[in-house]
Amino acid sequence: MFAQMESTGLQDLHFAADPATGLRAIIAIHSTTLGPAIGGCRFIPYDSDTDAITDAIRLARGMSYKAALAGLPHGGGKAVIMQPPQGYNRRALMAAFGGFIDNLGGRYITAMDSGTQVQDMDAIATRTHWVSCTSRTGNPSPSTAQGVFEGIGCAVRHRLGRQSLCGVRVALQGLGHVGFEVARLLHGAGARLSVCDLDDQRCTRAVQAFGARRVEVNEIYRLDADVFSPCGLGAILNDDSIPQLRCSIIAGSANNQLAEARHGDMLHRRGILYAPDYLINAGGLIFVALNHARASAQQISTKVHSIGAELQALFKQADALDTATSLLADQRAEAIIAAAGQAGGNCSTSIATAQ
Ligand code: NAD
């Protein structure tokens, strides 16, 4: 575990168990150099403690990079609650998790992630105010989807030289909270959609609402599409999937899309323009962080729209240097965090006001 922490640069790792409610939770804090760590809370079954720890550590680093590149006064963290098999009171368990967060005194702010919903955040808020995405503050997914939509438009302009998404062929994997909204925005812009999801009903809804073509889950990679938009799971860009790809652009919401860092270079060498996941999907984090800092809806929307310009600058730099976008994004995020560390950092427990 310590080797894993050291190799990812993780600052600290916290555990809580509460037999009365069945709570078994992990909070991984990657960095508080730029400010309090922020990141969602997963509530899913894990095969082992090790799997849960690995998930929390991997995701926490991505949150640090995401916050740094989005210019937010936050470090990265992630929480994982191991979902008990059955026989638990969800509200009581979430409230106990709120107590765990509160003990960290504001070093970590939680939010929604896979398996958690607004009602869970409300239960957590009964024990701590270091929580976002409550029924008062709302759901980040539409902001994530808006940022992904901006990013797809930007990548299409850059790589295909097309100013409009009309007629652009998009293969979209995953029609959940974010993917379905991305599909809605793309359809509104005239894109031609091919979609897949493990859930039949979600596919049927997309076919009916957007005239999308439904394809099988393992067919999506080899479609003749302009854009592949992964909005389901992580690690889908790997040794198996990359050789199948026939798209020019990859731009989607899923976290940790590259199975390993070297896969970013593999995409570059195949001539595929990759929008780094933690840059293009930062809309949700922007929503959570600025909402928590009580920014206005207009400020949040302006910041989410700026994702396109950030990506544009990265794409140009990657072309000029003939380098993988993922490598440049990692370097840029690490440089921002390192510079803040040299300047004395900001490990305060209070939330900075949104800029
Ligand atoms: P979700 O759970 O609502 O939806 C995910 C969808 O993907 C589900 O419909 C699921 O059936 C489908 N799916 C899973 N594996 C699949 C596969 N192999 N092939 C096809 N479909 C598959 O999740 P979400 O909130 O929409 O998030 C989607 C992704 O975006 C996740 O990786 C998440 O971590 C990331 N993300 C989400 C947000 C947000 O605001 N919700 C923010 C940043 C990143």
Residue 353: inside a domain, yes or no? no
For the chain, the domain total comes to: 2
What mean pLDDT do residues 49-66 have?
A: 93
pLDDT at 345: 61
pLDDT tens for residues 246-255?
999 999 999 9
pLDDT at 138: 87
Cα Rg for the chain, rounded, in angstroms? 20
Our mutation pick for probing the ligand 1 site, out of 253, 258, 278, 279, counting the most ligand atoms within 8 A of Cβ, is 253
Q: How far is CA 273 from CA 14, 229, 258, 323, 347, in A?
A: 37, 12, 13, 11, 36
Q: Which of 113, 126, 36 is nearest to 81 (CA)?
A: 113
Cα–ligand 1 centroid distance for 240 (angstroms) = 20
Note the pTM of the prediction, 2 decimals.
0.92
Same domain, 94 and 173: no
How many residues are listed for the chain in this entry? 355
What band does 346 get if pLDDT is binned at 50, 70 and 90?
Answer: low
pLDDT tens for residues 234-245?
899 999 999 999
Cα–ligand 1 centroid distance for 47 (angstroms) = 20
What mean pLDDT do residues 148-155 have?
A: 98
Same domain, 108 and 186: no
Among 92, 124, 156, residue at a domain's last position: 124
Q: Is 351's pLDDT higher than 80?
A: no
Cα–ligand 1 centroid distance for 349 (angstroms) = 31
Q: Which of 256-260, 344-348, 349-353 has the lowest mean pLDDT?
A: 349-353
Residue 244: inside a domain, yes or no? yes
pLDDT at 116: 93
Residue 166: inside a domain, yes or no? yes
Q: Please name the residue that has the structure tokens 């062929």.
A: 169
Q: Is 124's pLDDT higher than 60?
A: yes
Q: Is 95's pLDDT higher than 70?
A: yes
Among 77, 98, 124, residue at a domain's last position: 124
Same domain, 210 and 249: yes
Both tokens assigned to 346: 């900001």
Q: Is 223's pLDDT higher than 90?
A: yes
Q: Please name the residue that has the structure tokens 């720890």.
A: 53
pLDDT at 10: 94
Residue 337: inside a domain, yes or no? no
Residue 338: inside a domain, yes or no? no
Residue 345: inside a domain, yes or no? no
Residue 349: inside a domain, yes or no? no
Report how far residue 202's alpha carbon sits from residue 206's, in angstroms, rounded to the nearest whole number. Answer: 6
pLDDT at 353: 29
Same domain, 185 and 310: yes
Q: Which atom of ligand 1 is nearest to the CA of 114?
A: 2
Same domain, 35 and 181: no
Same domain, 269 and 177: yes
Same domain, 154 and 288: yes
Report how far residue 280's alpha carbon sits from residue 319's, in angstroms, rounded to the nearest whole number. Answer: 18
Report how far residue 250's alpha carbon sits from residue 155's, in angstroms, rounded to the nearest whole number. Answer: 9
Q: Is 80's pLDDT higher than 80?
A: yes
Same domain, 66 and 160: no
Report how far residue 301's alpha carbon sits from residue 297's, in angstroms, rounded to the nearest whole number. Answer: 6
Active site residues: 78
What band does 355 get if pLDDT is binned at 50, 70 and 90?
Answer: very low
CATH at 82: 3.40.50.10860
What band does 11 get if pLDDT is binned at 50, 70 and 90?
Answer: very high
What mean pLDDT do residues 74-81 have?
A: 97
Q: Could you give the percent of the chain with pLDDT greater than 90?
A: 88
Same domain, 175 and 38: no
CATH at 269: 3.40.50.720
What mean pLDDT do residues 135-155 have?
A: 95
- Which element (helix H / strand E) includes 58? helix 49-69
Mean pLDDT of the chain: 94
The residue whose CA is least distant from atom 11 of ligand 1 is 198
Task: Tell me the one-letter amino acid at 197.
Answer: D
Residue 333: inside a domain, yes or no? no
Same domain, 182 and 293: yes
pLDDT at 137: 87
Strand 227-230 relative to strand 169-173, pairing = parallel
Same domain, 25 and 72: yes
pLDDT at 264: 98
The residue whose CA is least distant from atom 4 of ligand 1 is 176
pLDDT tens for residues 109-120?
999 988 899 999
Same domain, 208 and 302: yes
Domain span at residue 87 reads 2-124
pLDDT at 184: 98
pLDDT at 347: 42
